[in-house]
Structure 1
Amino acid sequence: MTITKKLDGDTLTIAVDGWLDTMTAPEFHKEVGDLGAARNIVLDFKGLEYISSAGLRETVALFRVVNANGGAFSVRNVDRKVMDVFTLTGFDKKFEIRAD
């Protein structure tokens, strides 16, 4: 998994490539643990090939932190396989997810 972060004002875009699963979720957690000046988060999943329940937990945990701080949270560039997971779990109703 590769994580790239880009801060633009108070919006942090986090691009994730590869797999977000049991093995990589701790790395994701560490990378997004300190949001710094960011109030809003955009997860760019264009390069995400697979997400497991551990990856979903980390995504929801990040959503809760952003939501508690009054920020905006969205997930962009989700491919069909990953979107199926969000739909099956009902997370597509909790936060904004776009296939773009």
Structure 2
Amino acid sequence: MSITFETAGQTVVASLQGRLDSTNSPAVEAELVGRIGPSGFVLDFSRLDYISSAGLRVVLVVAKRLKQAGGGFVLAGLQPHIRDVFEISGFLGILDVAGTKAEALARF
């Protein structure tokens, strides 16, 4: 699992690559939460291969912390198999999801 960060205006973009599961979710959560502020935040999953329930929990924690900080949150680039996991879990109904990183950034 690797995470790269970039800033577009006042929006933080975190791009995840690899697998987000129970073996790395605590470290990923800590790294993402450490970047939360009152600005926008995009999680780019276009290079994410797998997400487990532990990974879904990380997404919820980040979304909750951003809401508390007054920042916006958008998921971007969900591959079909990752999107299926979010759909089955019901997360698509509660999270803002964009097709691409550019679309997500346009929401801020």
TM-score normalised by length of structure 1: 0.92
Partner of 1:56: 56
May I ask how many residue pairs the two structures share in their alignment?
100
Aligned positions of 1:36-47 closer than 5 A? 39-47=39-47
TM-score normalised by length of structure 2: 0.85
- Letter in structure 2 aligned against 1:41: F
From the superposition, tell whether residues 69 and 38 of structure 1 become closer, same or farther in structure 2 (CA, over 3 Å).
closer
Identity %: 31
Tell me how far 1:9 sits from its aligned partner.
Answer: 3.0
User: In structure 2, what is the Cα distance between the partners aligned to 1:82 and 1:90?
Assistant: 13
When the two chains are superposed, the root-mean-square deviation of aligned CA atoms in Å is 1.4
Tell me how far 1:7 sits from its aligned partner.
Answer: 1.9
SS of residue in 2 equivalent to 1:46: strand
1:82 lines up with 2:82 in the alignment: yes
Aligned positions of 1:4-43 closer than 5 A? 4-35=4-35, 39-43=39-43
User: In structure 2, what is the Cα distance between the partners aligned to 1:70 and 1:95?
Assistant: 15
Segments of 5+ residues of structure 1 without an aligned counterpart are none
> Does the CA-based 8 Å contact 1:76-1:97 persist in structure 2?
yes
> Does the CA-based 8 Å contact 1:17-1:47 persist in structure 2?
yes
Tell me how far 1:31 sits from its aligned partner.
Answer: 1.1
Segments of 5+ residues of structure 2 without an aligned counterpart are 101-108
User: In structure 2, what is the Cα distance between the partners aligned to 1:2 and 1:70?
Assistant: 27
